[in-house]
Structure 1
Amino acid sequence: MTFPPGAVQDDEPDGNSFALPAHVAGSGSLDQLAETARDYARAATSENTLTAYARDWAHFTRWCRMKGTDPLPPAPEVIGLYLADLARGTARGPALAVSTIDRRLSGLCWNYAQRGLPLDRRDRHIAAVLAGIRRRHARPPVQKAAILAEDILAMTAILPHDLRGLRDRAILLLGYAGGLRRSEIVSLDLHKDDTPDSGGWVEIMAAGALLTLNAKTGWREVEIGRGSSDRTCPVHALAQWLHFARIDFGPIFVATSRDGTRALDRRLNDRHVARLVKRCVRDAGIRADLPEAERLALFSGHSLRAGLASAAEVDERYVQKQLGHASAEMTRRYQRRRDRFRVNLTKAAGL
């Protein structure tokens, strides 16, 4: 299927979506406000999500070229065929997971909306195909393994005591004790409003550290108390890193010089956390009973977050608050070891 002559095929979203209407005379101040509005609109979506949506659009436009059709304007019939192709798999690549297909569709909807061409994902050509894909191919979510207390101690023990080791030890302990997402860890600044790309800041107090985070679910505070010893204390590890890295302003977790003797002013990417977790799992011999490839696939940056939920033996609502979950059910998904039958409805019903 091809679209009428003159159909636009740009590869980038329309940058004029926040331009002045045609009947409004432009001026310096109004043009400046339009640019400000565009900046705020870009800030509404995280960089990682924007990157994923850009890849989704690139994949779809390439698929359209291969099939002899056009990506613009949006055609629900074509989108339905694209989703079916993703689900069946081909010799060029395996079938995608249902969650990935759903994400791809969200990426297309976002890209079309930026071009002023909304796509109705409830259209029968899309909704029926997606419902069939879910019914036939949906599987329970694959969860990453939790890093438990004994694991985190083994992982931090193998880190050297140089500048990089101090930084990575603070990342692991703070991420574990705070139940933090990897993006939340690396977006921390030392003080409020230190940098434009800050995702929160830290206050170190006598009893612990208070983190104020601008997370995906909104602003929240995370309280991290001091540990039972300096060796295992996340607050002590953070203070040690800040002291020896001579950081008194801006991003907390930054890159180091090639020789490892100086802290640079470049904020770490969140992928560093994932790589750090996998490297330490391997070097510390965590789950050494498994083949290395399977073992590394089992753990990720999210394993720190699942570790706190699984290991903290306190009332569930405190864990829920720390993780910033809206419901207890979401928190339970993170608890890899818990008494699932503590409440026995069979007995309670008289059987």
Structure 2
Amino acid sequence: MRRLRDQAASDNTRAAHLSDWTIFSRWCTTTGHTPMPATPDQLAWFLAEKSGEVRSDGRWAYAPSTLSRWVSTVNKMHALAGYAEPGRHESVRELLRGIRRSRATPPARRTPLLTDDIRTILGHMRATAATGPWSGRAAERRDAALLLMGLAGALRRSELTALTVADVVAHRADGLYVTVRRSKTDRNATGRTVTLPHGIDPHTCPVCAYRRWRVVLDTWDEGGRDAVAELLAAAGDDELAEHCCRGLSATVTPTSERVLFRPVHRSGSLGDTALSGQSVHSMIQRRARRAGFSPDLVATLGGHSLRAGFVTQAVRGGATTQTIMTQTGHADERMVALYSRHHAGLVGNAVTRLGL
């Protein structure tokens, strides 16, 4: 029963619940209260105190959404234990509404990376890797596949890091069929398939980038570090002059459950576990910074910049909402409209007809 209950939520959700409950229970211990069962007044006092905390730079320490999530966690823990949920009391709800009204600020959104941005980052990555040791070429191939597959597939960073070799199947005509087994909005893990087409330019072809990284991955698993060193040391500067995506096999090997995107050590060694979401976030910022992007812009980039970049670039290219949702998996057209307002405000806007 416990095992089946654990599968009702993702690992990230369970970790978040544990973290939230730890914060609340520690506060209760410090103030001389019992975490369970907690009273509505006790929970309200906790929220009021936490909402007033500030960081060293003067910003609020906790956003209203964080406080609301804490209440949800406290409610869930009480419900599982058979107690009344203190956060459902009207006094707690009124307090949260007051906090949200007093902190009415626009939500922080990641800046999208458009196709030209990705092309610039890839160009710098490859120029640097070409003149450096072979170990840098291993990281370049992995990062290029991450960037291009994330952009073309409108994938979240959690979806990218969860991919296995079995989830990516080559198709002779269409490119790659990528199975996303579960995602943030797919609580029942029904899964969906995303198609990544062959690119026009071999430098930005997601299928070519996947194959270049897959060769490194297979070589490592079969021959280890020495085999990868020999492979990448022999790689020429003209390897991107032509496409290499037309020879992919659709055969699924017995070891196809291998993790697709893994850590790459500075020595060139590959890890065995999946890359973390934070690692994807840091990689994007690091690559953009080295490519010459301004520090202010780099600070607004992250793992979601690839998914946001897909929607923004598609809107700018004239794609319809329905065709965008086919790739992103959005169930609500308002989410696509949100990207349009914030990052493609002149597309389909009558203001361009004013003749100013």
Measured against the shorter chain, the TM-score band is 0.7 to 0.9
User: Alpha carbon RMSD of aligned pairs, Å?
Assistant: 2.3
Q: Distance in 1 between matches of 2:347 and 2:198?
A: 33
The 5-angstrom pairing of residues 10-159 of structure 1 reads 37-89=1-53, 94-159=60-125
Per the alignment, residue 337 of structure 1 pairs with 343
Do the aligned partners of residues 244 and 91 (structure 1) sit closer, same or farther apart at CA in structure 2, a change above 3 Å counting?
closer
Per the alignment, residue 192 of structure 2 pairs with 220
Per the alignment, residue 205 of structure 2 pairs with 233
Conserved 8 A contact 2:159-2:183: yes
Q: Distance in 1 between matches of 2:104 and 2:345?
A: 27
Q: Which of 260, 263, 266 in structure 2 is aligned with 1:255? A: 263
Per-residue CA deviations over 1:311-348 (Å, capped at 9, x if unaligned) read 11211211122111111111122334324573659x9x
Do the aligned partners of residues 115 and 258 (structure 1) sit closer, same or farther apart at CA in structure 2, a change above 3 Å counting?
farther
Shift of 1:304: 0.8
Shift of 1:109: 2.1
Structure 1: gaps of 5 or more residues = 1-36, 192-200
Per-residue CA deviations over 1:234-273 (Å, capped at 9, x if unaligned) read 111011111122165221111235520x433221111111
SS in 1 for 2:14: helix
Conserved 8 A contact 2:284-2:302: yes
Instruction: Report the TM-score, using the length of structure 1 for normalisation.
Output: 0.78
Per-residue CA deviations over 1:81-140 (Å, capped at 9, x if unaligned) read 111222222689944211111122222223333433351533112111111112222322
Q: Which of 173, 188, 198 in structure 1 is aligned with 2:163? A: 188
1:176 aligns with 2:183: no
Per the alignment, residue 315 of structure 1 pairs with 320
Conserved 8 A contact 2:43-2:86: no
Conserved 8 A contact 2:175-2:196: yes
Per the alignment, residue 198 of structure 1 pairs with none
Q: Which of 306, 309, 315 in structure 2 is aligned with 1:304? A: 306
Per-residue CA deviations over 1:26-79 (Å, capped at 9, x if unaligned) read xxxxxxxxxxx3222212222222222211111111211222212111211111
Conserved 8 A contact 1:254-1:264: yes
Per the alignment, residue 332 of structure 2 pairs with 327
1:167 aligns with 2:145: no
Q: Which of 278, 281, 290 in structure 1 is aligned with 2:285? A: 278
Q: Distance in 1 between matches of 2:346 and 2:124?
A: 34
Conserved 8 A contact 1:74-1:117: no
Q: Letter of the aligned partner of 1:309 in structure 2?
A: V
Shift of 1:230: 1.7
Conserved 8 A contact 1:163-1:245: no
Q: Distance in 1 between matches of 2:77 and 2:334?
A: 32
Task: Give the number of the structure whose residues are more often helix, by fraction.
Answer: 2
Conserved 8 A contact 1:184-1:215: yes
SS in 2 for 1:215: coil
Per the alignment, residue 205 of structure 1 pairs with 171
Conserved 8 A contact 1:309-1:334: yes
Per the alignment, residue 295 of structure 1 pairs with 297
Q: Distance in 2 between matches of 1:165 and 1:91?
A: 37
Do the aligned partners of residues 339 and 256 (structure 1) sit closer, same or farther apart at CA in structure 2, a change above 3 Å counting?
closer
Task: Report runs of 4+ in structure 1 exceeding 4 Å deviation.
Answer: 90-93
Higher normalized contact order (CA 8 Å, seq sep 6+, divided by chain length): 2
Conserved 8 A contact 2:53-2:61: yes
Q: Distance in 1 between matches of 2:343 and 2:265?
A: 40
Structure 1 residues 246-255 or 267-276, which shifts more? 246-255
